[in-house]
Amino acid sequence: MFSLSGCGGGDSGGSPSGKKPAAEQPGTQKPAGADSKGNGLEMKGANGAVLTIHSVQRYKGGVVTVRGEMRNDGKQALNTDHWTGGNDLSLKNGYSSSGASLADLKGKKRYYPLRDTQGHCLCTQFHPVFQPGDRAPVFVQFPAPPEGTTEVDFAMPTFDTVPVKITVAQ
């Protein structure tokens, strides 16, 4: 299971049925995740951005990978540089999901995307403009929290933060 978080501007609208996912309902603390049919957790972002998280998995070697899909359900183009987080390392990566983070609230530690030897994020690279109807796969790799940590918060700029559960890759 997994969770998303981000800074500012989130559209708090619910699903097309008008019902909010459990992670968005007031007072709900249960970690979010994919259902038994493999459907993901749908997160609403600013201006029609939707991020669906399909998995948050721990791999041998100390890596956690978040996988999902980004789409633009809005009526206007989205500037994807908002998803970088705006720090120097994120800006070096251009239009990407480099602004994502995992927060271990119990361990009081935040994890940022892994980087290669040139400082490039191990994450999805986007086109500068995300047009209405556009879709793109999303992945972000993080250093893994300690083995006993199974629940973290996932954050992505312009999206609300939500709790997620880390599963072990098979």
Using pLDDT thresholds of 50, 70 and 90, give the confidence band for residue 7: very low
- Kindly report the average pLDDT of the chain as a whole number: 76
Beta-carbon count within 10 A of 27 CB: 4
Using pLDDT thresholds of 50, 70 and 90, give the confidence band for residue 11: very low
Name 127's Cβ contacts closer than 8 Å, sequence gap at least 6: 80, 95, 134
Distance CA 165, CA 140 (A): 15
What pLDDT score does 36 carry? Answer: 40
158 Ramachandran zone, left/alpha/beta (phi>0; psi -120 to 50): left
Q: What is the pLDDT of residues 69-106, one digit of tens each?
A: 999 999 999 877 666 666 555 455 566 777 889 999 99
Domain ranges of the chain: 30-168
Scan for tokens 């999303």, then name that residue.
Answer: 138
What pLDDT score does 141 carry? Answer: 95
The topology under which CATH files domain 30-168 is Immunoglobulin-like (2.60.40)
Number of H helices, E strands in the chain: 1, 11
